[in-house]
Amino acid sequence: MGLQDLIFHLVGGVAIFLFGIKYMSDGLQKTAGDQIRHLLASYTVHPLLGIAVGIIVTLLFQSATGAVILIIGLMNASILSIKQAIPVLIGSNIGTIFTVFIVGISIENYALPIITIGVILLLFVHYKRIQYIGQIILGFGTLFLGLSLVRDGLQSSTEGVTSFLMNLSDTPVIGLLAGIVLTLLLTSSNAAMGVLQTIAKEGLIDFQGLIPIMLGSNIGSAVIACIAVIGASIRAKRVVFIQVLYYVIGTGLFLLLQKPLIELSLSLGQAAPMNIELAIAYSLFQLLTGMVCILFVPLLLRITQSLIQTHQPSAEVMFGAQYLDKRFLATPSMALEQAQNETLRMGNIARETLMHASQYFFEQDSRSANLALKKEALVNELNRLITDYMVAIHQHDLTAGESEKLTGLLHVVNDIERIGDHAENIVELAEYSTRNRVQLSEVAISQLHEMIDAADWIIGRTLYALEHNDRSAAADVRGREADLDRMEHEFRVGHFTRLNENLCKGNAGAIFLDMLSNLERIGDHSKNIAEYILK
């Protein structure tokens, strides 16, 4: 085989392997992805449970990096604290052991029949759940097809390639660097380990020379994680820094105990192929590192918090999104959660806008007016950002449930934006009242206070229902909105009675009626959101 054929086999094989891992991961997430958030929210109080959940998450994502992204998202949503996140992170790294052993199974000769079964289930069965299982099987077979191409390329490799691989045994530092570079080129430690196991199986390098490359591939995954959080939140940087500490500690421990650990790996894998012995060594690396790190969680926390400190909060309105990270788009279920988190933030800002606008209306406080207008501008900006983000999500393969949720959230975002518009209208009414010295009667002021309190309660209850998917809270909103409609009608009739009795002036009446109308419309938009939850 010439050099060109060798390159085509290696590059093509790795590409097919990566596709298989990704496709299998997508199928696993569609099959059980809806339960991930519940698992992480409910079973991470105890460290050992957190490790178990981390293992499950990595099995679903087939990637420790994907698990890290999920952890960051749940921390941003305040579902996980960093103390809870560390055991999950440790578990996610330990979970990669299963992928390494799966890759180590010698079933490349059965890759095509496995792919055939997957295609049949995917294309010829009309039940979604069975189709997802077919996707998992197809991805599983494809990753082995990719590895078989890599194996064929290595079997017919040129003398120069063989000589280079054999020289790695004599220079561990170069092996370590080779592992880092291999992971960076493939952007996946799983793919790096797959290639490394194939090299081991072909006997192109001895076991002693494989260890530094294996350790380097783990460090490479930490480097990828560091690159991924450039410009990200403080929480994201802390999680990734802990991931870096994990691999630094693990590499140091393995190098320190290298001789007994290698002997143990060879003893446990006696009579097994070298790729299985490598999988055992990798397992010992992950288990040893995990046990040490779980014992020193408080120390890891202190180191991380002291080195990566939060910035002092600013009194100014901070524009831009907090949760819409494009890194999550590769995992639509997680990206949807992030979009919902940003939508909830947008809803709370719209609620604050109404409170500032109301304060300006009653107290003529110019600072409240400025805050209301700035926050309304932020609501408009978030409307655009969230919509663009959800359009990007829609370009990925979504389940029927995810697609329905995305459509509903688009309507919710629009309703929240309209609530912000009505709050802005109140600022404009207040400005008109101030310029023209409009004086409302005490009865009118009292009634407006009552309606504003009701509208604020409705918005708060609506956001609670949206965050917790609480149908009971959504039903409360629907009932309270009907009360707001009756209130608006009653106050409007009372105004005309006062007008006929010359108890208020015409310009004051116009302001009063416009206020009633805006508050009633805020209730309508809140009700629309509640109806979405009740569907």
pLDDT single digits (tens) 117-167: 989 998 888 887 888 888 888 888 887 788 778 777 765 654 555 566 556
Asked if the model's pLDDT at residue 355 lies above 90, the reply is: yes
In a shared domain, residues 301 and 348: no
Q: What is the distance between the alpha carbons of residues 240 and 246, in angstroms, rounded to a whole number? A: 10
Asked if the model's pLDDT at residue 426 lies above 90, the reply is: yes
Asked if the model's pLDDT at residue 312 lies above 50, the reply is: no
b/e burial code for range 360-394 (CB count within 10 A of at least 16 → b):
bbeeeeeebbebbbbbbebbeebbebbbebbeebe
**Mean pLDDT of the region 367-378:** 91
pLDDT at residue number 517: 93
* Tokens standing for residue 350: 């719209």
pLDDT at residue number 529: 95
> Is 336 within 8 Å of 405 (Cβ atoms)?
yes
Q: What is the distance between the alpha carbons of residues 452 and 447, in angstroms, rounded to a whole number? A: 9
pLDDT at residue number 314: 44
Q: What is the distance between the alpha carbons of residues 244 and 153, in angstroms, rounded to a whole number? A: 33
pLDDT at residue number 262: 87
In a shared domain, residues 221 and 276: yes
Q: Please report, for residues 128, 407, 462, the alpha-carbon distance to residue 401 in angstroms, rounded to integers and kept in the order given.
A: 11, 10, 21
In a shared domain, residues 486 and 406: yes
Q: Is residue 494 part of a domain?
A: yes
CATH of the domain at 362: 1.20.58.220
In a shared domain, residues 238 and 347: no
Upper half-sphere CA count for residue 398 (Cβ side, 13 Å): 21
pLDDT at residue number 169: 60
- How many distinct structural domains can be found in the chain? 2
Q: What is the distance between the alpha carbons of residues 231 and 314, in angstroms, rounded to a whole number? A: 18
| Residue 286 φ/ψ region, left for φ over 0, alpha for ψ in the -120 to 50 degree band, beta for the rest | alpha
Q: Is residue 35 part of a domain?
A: yes
Sequential DSSP letters for 107-166: -GGGHHHHHHHHHHHHHH---HHHHHHHHHHHHHHHHHHHHHHHHHHHHT--HHHHHHHH
Chosen domain end from 271, 306, 341: 306
In a shared domain, residues 383 and 473: yes
SS3 332: helix
Asked if the model's pLDDT at residue 395 lies above 70, the reply is: yes
**Mean pLDDT of the region 488-497:** 84
Chosen domain end from 241, 276, 306: 306
> Is 280 within 8 Å of 262 (Cβ atoms)?
no
Classify residue 109 by burial, with Cβ atoms within 10 Å: 0-12, 13-18, 19+.
Answer: exposed
Q: What is the distance between the alpha carbons of residues 1 and 153, in angstroms, rounded to a whole number? A: 8
Asked if the model's pLDDT at residue 364 lies above 70, the reply is: yes
Higher pLDDT, 452 or 208: 452
In a shared domain, residues 70 and 173: yes
Higher pLDDT, 160 or 282: 282
**Mean pLDDT of the region 461-472:** 92
* Tokens standing for residue 70: 């999920």
In a shared domain, residues 294 and 357: no
Share of the chain above pLDDT 70, in %: 84
Residue 224, φ and ψ in degrees, nearest 5 = -60, -45
Q: Is residue 226 part of a domain?
A: yes
Asked if the model's pLDDT at residue 528 lies above 90, the reply is: yes
Q: Is residue 508 part of a domain?
A: yes
Helices 332-363, 64-76: axis angle to 10 degrees equals 20
* Tokens standing for residue 456: 């604020």
Classify residue 187 by burial, with Cβ atoms within 10 Å: 0-12, 13-18, 19+.
Answer: middle
> Is 479 within 8 Å of 465 (Cβ atoms)?
no
Residues spanned by the domain of 439: 328-534
> Is 529 within 8 Å of 462 (Cβ atoms)?
yes
In a shared domain, residues 276 and 376: no
Upper half-sphere CA count for residue 287 (Cβ side, 13 Å): 10
Chosen domain end from 306, 340, 357: 306
> Is 200 within 8 Å of 274 (Cβ atoms)?
yes
Q: What is the distance between the alpha carbons of residues 307 and 301, in angstroms, rounded to a whole number? A: 10
Q: Please report, for residues 212, 355, 420, 468, 510, the alpha-carbon distance to residue 480 in angstroms, rounded to integers and kept in the order given.
A: 66, 19, 20, 19, 26
Residue type, 181: V
In a shared domain, residues 272 and 343: no
In a shared domain, residues 386 and 465: yes
Share of the chain above pLDDT 90, in %: 26
Sequential DSSP letters for 503-534: -S-HHHHHHHHHHHHHHHHHHHHHHHHHHHHH
Residue 218, φ and ψ in degrees, nearest 5 = -70, -45
Confidence of residue 521 (pLDDT cuts 50, 70, 90): very high
**Mean pLDDT of the region 177-190:** 79
**Mean pLDDT of the region 452-480:** 93
Contact residues for 439 (Cβ-Cβ < 8 A; gap 6+) = 505, 508
pLDDT at residue number 176: 84
Neighbours of 496 (CB within 10 A): 11
In a shared domain, residues 226 and 337: no
In a shared domain, residues 60 and 99: yes
Sequential DSSP letters for 249-314: HHHHHHHHTHHHHHHHHHHHTTTS-HHHHHHHHHHHHHHHHHHHHHHTHHHHHHHHHHHSPPPPPP
Sequential DSSP letters for 381-436: HHHHHHHHHHHHHHTS---HHHHHHHHHHHHHHHHHHHHHHHHHHHHHHHHHHHHT
Q: Is residue 45 part of a domain?
A: yes
> Is 13 within 8 Å of 147 (Cβ atoms)?
yes
**Mean pLDDT of the region 321-347:** 85
Chain mean pLDDT for the chain: 82
**Among 78-87, 223-232, 520-529, which range has the highest average pLDDT?**
520-529
Asked if the model's pLDDT at residue 511 lies above 80, the reply is: yes
pLDDT at residue number 420: 94
Q: What is the distance between the alpha carbons of residues 514 and 425, in angstroms, rounded to a whole number? A: 9
**Mean pLDDT of the region 1-25:** 75
* pTM for the structure as a whole: 0.64
Confidence of residue 315 (pLDDT cuts 50, 70, 90): very low
Higher pLDDT, 418 or 498: 418
**Mean pLDDT of the region 365-369:** 87
Contact residues for 110 (Cβ-Cβ < 8 A; gap 6+) = 141, 144
Q: Is residue 317 part of a domain?
A: no
Q: Is residue 349 part of a domain?
A: yes
